[in-house]
Amino acid sequence: MDYEKAHTLGVVLLVVLVTPAVAHFLVPATGLGGSYVVLSDSMEPTMSAGDLIFVRDVPAENIDQGDVITFRYSPREATTTHRVVDVTTEDGRQAFVTKGDANDGTDPNLVTPEMVVGKLVLTLPLYGHITTFADSRLGTVLLVVVPSVLYLVTETRELWLEATSNGQTDGREHETE
C-alpha cells in the first residue's frame, strides 16, 4: 500500500472513530440535548448495550405514547431510556408509564415531567463503546496522542524531504496555483 492510500485510510478511520466521541462531548454544550451510552439490553431490538443515543429536551406535552424517553427517577440515579406505553394523570398532573422493549412488564414507577431528561432523536449502534473507550486514559492516548504524534512525524518528514531534495521531487506530484 502506498503512502497516499495509507494516509487517506488513516484519516477516514480516524474520522469514523472520533466523530461520534466528539459529538458525545460537544452536543450537550450546544443546548440541543445530551448523549448517553446505553448500558443494558432492556430496549432490544431498538437499541443495545453499547449504543450511543442522543436525546433532546422537549416539553412533556410533546411526549406521546410510543416515544422513547430518557429519564432519571432521582438526581443521584443513573438515567434510564425506555418507551412510553401510556400517558396518564396522577394527582392532576401528566405522568408516563414506561417499559423497556425487551422487558416483560412496565417499570414500577411512573415518570413525571420533572424526571424526563429528553426524547430520543438518534441512535448510533455500537458507538457508545468508542466514546466509553475514548473517555478512558488508554483511549485518550490511542485516539488523540498517537494520531497527533504520527501527524507531526509525517509532516516533519515531508518538510525535511522538501528541504533536502535540492529541487528534486520524491515521485509525488504536488499541484500549486
Q: What is the pLDDT of residue 122?
A: 87
Per-residue pLDDT of 142-171, as tens digits, reads 878 888 888 899 899 889 988 888 765 555
Check if the beta carbon of residue 71 is closer than 8 Å to that of residue 79. yes
Q: Which three cell numbers mark 169?
A: 521531487
Per-residue pLDDT of 126-146, as tens digits, reads 888 887 887 889 988 887 888
| Whether residue 97 has pLDDT greater than 90 | yes
β-strand pairing of 52-56 with 116-124: antiparallel
CATH number, span 37-123:
2.10.109.10
Does residue 44 sit in helix, strand or coil? coil
pTM > 0.85: yes or no: no
Q: Which pLDDT band, with edges at 50, 70 and 90, does 15 fall under? A: confident
Q: Break the chain into its structural domains and give their ranges.
A: 1-30+126-164, 37-123
* Angstrom distance (rounded) from CA 34 to CA 28: 5
* Angstrom distance (rounded) from CA 117 to CA 136: 25
Least reliable range by pLDDT among 15-19, 53-57, 152-156: 15-19
* Angstrom distance (rounded) from CA 98 to CA 69: 9
